[in-house]
C-alpha cells in the first residue's frame, strides 16, 4: 500500500491490486438446458450471451428455453416426483441434500468467482456471504428432511408436487439455494429459471446436482427470458410458484395464478428505512448505513435505501457518512480490496442514472463519493441525496442501486409514520442505545425484517419476507419449509 500524496487528504490511499485468480474455473462456451438429469438443446435452437458487467465481455452462450422446453422440464419434474422423490424417505432425501451442500463447499471458490464474473458483485461478498450462505441453506434444510413431523407436530404433512421457481439477478446462487433446498427437503421437485443476466451459477449447480447423483428430473434448470418465467407460471401442472423479483412482475404473476390451485410465495421490491436515533453509537451506525445501501451495489431487495436521522445528530452523521463514502473503492469486483463492484447490466445502470437525474430535477441535493470509476464496464459512484421530501419520487420508488435518500425527524412517532409511508414493507434498521426505544420502533415498523444496531444480516434459520407490496410468504427457517408443504 502506498500513500499517493502525503500532503493530500488523508483518505487518498491507493491499494495495490489484489485480484482473485480465475485460472481454476471452467466455463463451457455454450450451456444447454438441464432437464431430466441431462443437458439438452433448446427446442428453438436459440442461445443468448451472458456477459461480465465489469468489462462488458461475453462469458458464455446460454440456451433460451421456450414454452415447449418448460413443458418438457415440468413433465420431467412430475415424473421424478411421482416415481422417485415423493416415495423416498425423508432420511434418504436428506442424504442427497447434504451431499449437494458438501460438494458446493468443496467448489466454493469456483462458485464465488463465477458469481462475481457473471453478476458484477464483489468477490469479498460472493466468497464470504453468498456462497457460504447458499451452502448453509442446503445444510439447514437437509437437517429438516427426516424431521418434518417435528417441524409440524400433530399434523399430516404432504409435499406439494412440482415447484416452479423464478429468481432475480442480485443474489443468483443464494436465491437458488433459498428456493431449491426447502422444496427438496419437503419432498417436492423443481423447475427453476435463473435471471437472464446471471444464469451461470445455477448451471454450475446443475452440474453439482448431477455429481451428487440426484435422481433425474428432481431439479431442472431452464434458462431464458421473462417469457420463460411466464411459461412456468402458466403451466397447468405446476403446483407452486416461488418468485423473487420486482413488484411489477409479482403483480403479473398474482393475476396469472388467480383462480388456480397454485400456491405462491412472492418476494418483491423494497424501500427500506434505516433509522438513526440521537443516542445511537454514531460510528457504528455510519458503518451500518454504508453496509445497508452500498453492499452489493445497492442491488439488495432489503437495502437500507432511505435514511432517517434524528435532527440533533444529522449534521454529524452526514459529515461522517460523506467522509466514509469517500474511502469506498469502486471497481473491479474480482479485486479483494473493492467495496462497490459493477452494476449488473447496462439497463440497470441506465435506470439508476435516470433516478439520479430525477432526484436533481426534483430539487434534492446530491453528493457522490470521490471514488475513481473504471472507464469500461457498468459502474455507479455511491450517491446520497439530502433535501428530499417524503413525496419525492426518489424517496418513494425502489432504485435498486447505490443511491441513498436522507431525511431528518424529531420524534419517534414522526419517524414511524414516515418510515411506514411507502407501498413497500420488506425490512428496516434501528440504531439506538436504548432497548425500550428499539422494541418500541421494531414493533411499530411495518416491515418483514427489522434489524437493531446492525443491517443486512441473514441466516438460514430466520424467516425473510415482506409486508404490503414487498410480497407475501416467508423464505428461510421453519416458515420457509412451511411454504412447501400441505398440512392436514
Ligand atoms: P424482475 O424483472 O421481476 O425479474 C425476476 C425474474 O422474473 C427474472 O428471472 C425474470 O427473467 C423473470 N421474469 C420477468 N418477467 C416475467 C414474467 N412476466 N413472468 C415470470 N417471470 C418473469 O426483477 P429483477 O429486475 O430481476 O430483480 C430485481 C427485483 O427483485 C427488485 O425489485 C428487488 O427488490 C427484487 N428482489 C426481492 C427480493 C426479496 O426477497 N423480496 C430479493 C431479491 C430481489 P429475466 O431475467 O429473463 O427478465
Ligand atoms: Mg452476466
In SS3 terms, 28-74 reads as: CCEECEEECCEEECCCCCCEEEEEECCCCEEEEEEECCCHHHHHHHH
DSSP state of 363: T
Contacts of 432 (CB under 8 A, 6+ apart): 277, 279, 280, 438, 441, 452, 453
How far apart CA 56 and CA 346 sit, in angstroms, is 9
How far apart CA 10 and CA 12 sit, in angstroms, is 6
319-369 pLDDT, tens digit each:
999 999 999 999 999 999 999 999 999 999 999 999 999 999 999 999 999
Lowest mean pLDDT of 11-15, 156-160, 173-177, 479-483, name the range.
11-15
Q: Quickly state the pLDDT bin for 101 (edges 50, 70, 90).
A: very high
Gap from CA of 84 to ligand 2 centroid (Å): 34
Residues 222, 233: contact at Cβ < 8 Å?
no
Phi and psi of 39, rounded to 5°? -85, 120
DSSP state of 129: I
CA atoms within 13 A on the CB side of 257: 24
The protein residue whose alpha carbon is closest to atom 40 in ligand 1 is 267
10 Å Cβ neighbour count for 426?
A: 28
DSSP state of 468: G
Catalytic residue (choose from 301, 302, 398, 469): 301
On the question of pLDDT at 7 being above 50, the answer is: no
User: Does domain 273-452 correspond to CATH entry 1.10.10.10?
Assistant: no
190-216 pLDDT, tens digit each:
999 999 999 999 999 999 999 999 999
pLDDT value at residue 44: 98
41-59 pLDDT, tens digit each:
999 999 999 999 999 999 9
Nearest by Cα to 275 from 141, 378, 409? 409
Catalytic residue (choose from 20, 196, 267, 475): 267
How far apart CA 75 and CA 36 sit, in angstroms, is 9
The protein residue whose alpha carbon is closest to atom 19 in ligand 1 is 230
How far apart CA 268 and CA 191 sit, in angstroms, is 20
444-461 pLDDT, tens digit each:
999 999 999 999 999 999
pLDDT value at residue 201: 98
Gap from CA of 270 to ligand 1 centroid (Å): 13
How far apart CA 400 and CA 355 sit, in angstroms, is 10
The protein residue whose alpha carbon is closest to atom 43 in ligand 1 is 301
pLDDT value at residue 64: 98
Nearest-ligand number for the alpha carbon of 197: 2
Q: What is the CATH number of domain 30-268+467-487?
A: 3.40.605.10
Find cell 442514472 and name the residue: 353
The protein residue whose alpha carbon is closest to atom 47 in ligand 1 is 225
120-152 pLDDT, tens digit each:
999 999 999 999 999 999 999 999 999 999 999
The protein residue whose alpha carbon is closest to atom 10 in ligand 1 is 226
How far apart CA 328 and CA 330 sit, in angstroms, is 6
pLDDT value at residue 12: 61
Round the average pLDDT of the chain to a whole number and report it. Answer: 96
How far apart CA 300 and CA 303 sit, in angstroms, is 5
pLDDT value at residue 15: 87
How far apart CA 430 and CA 288 sit, in angstroms, is 10
Each domain of the chain, given as residue ranges in start order, spans 30-268+467-487, 273-452
Name the pTM for this structure. Answer: 0.96
**Region for residue 81 given its phi and psi (left: phi exceeds 0; alpha: psi -120 to 50; beta: otherwise):** alpha
C-alpha cell belonging to residue 72: 418438457
Pocket of ligand 1 (CB under 6 A): 166-170, 193, 195-196, 225-226, 229-230, 233, 244-246, 249, 252-253, 267-270, 301, 398, 400, 426, 466, 470-471
Pocket probe for ligand 1: among 64, 66, 168, the residue whose CB has the most ligand atoms within 8 Å is: 168
Is 83 a residue of the active site?
A: no
- β-bridge partners, 220: 191
pLDDT value at residue 455: 97
For 482, the 3-state DSSP assignment is: helix
Pocket probe for ligand 1: among 133, 241, 242, 249, the residue whose CB has the most ligand atoms within 8 Å is: 249
Nearest by Cα to 453 from 277, 330, 335? 277
Nearest by Cα to 186 from 130, 146, 228? 146
Contacts of 191 (CB under 8 A, 6+ apart): 70, 73, 74, 77, 162, 163, 164, 165, 220, 222, 232, 238
Nearest by Cα to 322 from 302, 300, 294, 350? 294
C-alpha cell belonging to residue 85: 422423490
CA-466 nearest atom, ligand 1: 41
Residues 189, 163: contact at Cβ < 8 Å?
yes
Gap from CA of 64 to ligand 2 centroid (Å): 15
CA-171 nearest atom, ligand 1: 43
Length of the chain: 488
As a dihedral over the C-alpha atoms of residue 312, residue 318, residue 319, residue 320, rounded to 10 degrees, the angle is: 100
DSSP state of 19: B
For 163, the 3-state DSSP assignment is: strand
On the question of pLDDT at 429 being above 90, the answer is: yes
Gap from CA of 198 to ligand 1 centroid (Å): 12
Q: Please state, in angstroms and as integers, the Cα–Cα distance from residue 323 to each residue in 2, 11, 59, following that order.
A: 20, 8, 37
Residues 401, 355: contact at Cβ < 8 Å?
yes
On the question of pLDDT at 1 being above 70, the answer is: no
Contacts of 375 (CB under 8 A, 6+ apart): none
Is 135 a residue of the active site?
A: no
10 Å Cβ neighbour count for 52?
A: 18
- β-bridge partners, 275: 308, 430
Q: Please state, in angstroms and as integers, the Cα–Cα distance from residue 436 to each residue in 51, 273, 311, 355, 417, following that order.
A: 49, 19, 20, 37, 18
How far apart CA 321 and CA 288 sit, in angstroms, is 10
Q: Is 184 exposed, middle or buried (0-12, 13-18, 19+ CB in 10 A)?
A: buried
CA atoms within 13 A on the CB side of 308: 28
Amino acid at each position: 500500500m502506498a500513500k499517493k500524496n502525503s500532503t493530500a487528504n488523508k483518505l487518498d490511499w491507493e491499494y495495490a491490486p489484489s485480484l482473485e485468480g480465475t485460472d481454476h474455473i471452467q466455463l463451457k462456451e455454450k450451456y444447454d438446458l438441464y432437464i431430466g438429469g441431462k443437458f439438452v438443446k433448446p427446442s428453438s435452437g436459440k442461445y443468448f450471451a451472458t456477459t461480465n458487467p465489469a468489462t462488458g465481455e461475453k462469458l458464455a452462450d446460454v440456451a433460451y428455453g421456450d414454452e415447449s422446453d418448460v413443458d418438457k422440464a415440468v413433465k420431467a419434474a412430475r415424473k421424478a416426483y411421482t416415481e422417485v422423490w415423493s416415495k423416498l424417505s425423508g432420511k434418504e432425501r436428506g442424504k442427497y441434500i447434504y451431499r449437494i451442500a458438501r460438494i458446493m463447499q468443496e467448489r466454493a471458490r469456483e462458485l464465488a468467482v463465477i458469481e462475481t464474473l457473471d453478476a458484477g458483485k464483489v468477490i469479498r461478498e460472493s466468497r464470504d456471504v453468498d456462497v457460504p450462505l447458499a451452502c448453509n441453506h442446503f445444510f439447514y434444510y437437509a437437517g429438516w428432511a427426516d424431521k418434518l413431523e417435528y417441524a409440524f407436530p400433530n399434523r399430516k404433512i404432504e409435499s406439494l408436487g412440482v415447484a416452479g421457481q423464478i429468481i432475480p439477478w442480485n443474489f443468483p446462487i443464494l436465491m437458488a439455494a433459498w428456493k431449491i433446498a426447502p422444496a427438496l427437503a419437503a419432498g417436492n421437485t423443481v423447475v427453476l429459471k435463473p435471471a437472464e443476466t446471471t444464469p451461470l451459477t445455477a448451471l454450475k449447480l446443475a452440474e453439482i446436482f448431477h455429481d451428487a447423483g440426484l435422481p433425474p428430473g428432481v431439479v431442472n434448470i431452464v434458462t431464458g427470458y421473462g417469457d420463460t418465467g411466464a411459461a412456468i407460471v402458466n403451466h397447468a401442472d405446476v403446483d407452486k410458484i416461488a418468485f423473487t423479483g420486482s413488484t411489477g412482475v409479482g403483480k403479473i404473476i398474482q393475476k396469472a395464478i388467480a383462480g388456480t390451485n397454485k400456491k405462491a410465495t412472492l418476494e418483491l421490491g423494497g424501500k427500506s428505512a434505516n433509522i438513526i436515533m440521537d443516542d445511537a453509537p454514531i460510528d457504528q451506525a455510519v458503518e451500518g448505513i454504508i453496509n445497508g445501501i452500498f453492499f452489493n451495489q445497492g442491488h439488495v431487495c432489503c437495502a437500507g435505501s432511505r435514511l432517517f436521522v434524528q435532527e440533533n445528530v444529522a449534521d454529524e452523521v452526514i459529515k461522517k457518512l460523506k467522509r466514509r463514502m469517500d474511502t469506498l473503492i469502486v471497481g473491479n469486483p474480482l479485486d479483494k480490496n473493492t467495496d462497490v463492484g459493477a452494476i449488473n447490466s447496462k439497463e440497470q445502470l441506465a435506470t439508476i442514472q435516470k433516478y439520479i437525474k430525477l432526484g436533481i430535477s426534483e430539487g434534492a441535493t446530491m453528493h457522490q463519493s470521490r471514488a475513481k470509476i473504471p472507464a469500461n464496464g457498468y459502474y455507479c459512484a455511491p450517491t446520497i441525496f439530502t433535501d428530499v421530501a417524503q413525496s419525492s419520487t426518489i424517496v418513494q420508488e425502489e432504485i435498486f442501486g447505490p443511491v441513498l435518500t436522507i431525511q431528518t425527524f424529531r420524534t419517534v412517532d414522526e419517524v414511524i409514520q414516515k418510515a411506514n409511508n411507502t407501498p413497500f414493507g420488506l425490512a428496516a434498521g434501528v440504531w439506538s442505545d436504548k432497548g425500550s426505544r428499539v422494541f418500541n420502533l421494531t414493533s411499530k415498523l411495518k416491515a418483514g425484517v427489522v434489524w437493531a444496531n446492525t443491517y443486512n444480516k441473514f441466516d438460514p434459520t430466520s424467516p425473510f419476507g415482506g409486508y404490503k407490496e414487498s410480497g407475501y410468504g416467508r423464505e428461510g427457517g421453519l416458515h420457509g419449509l412451511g411454504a412447501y408443504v400441505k398440512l392436514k
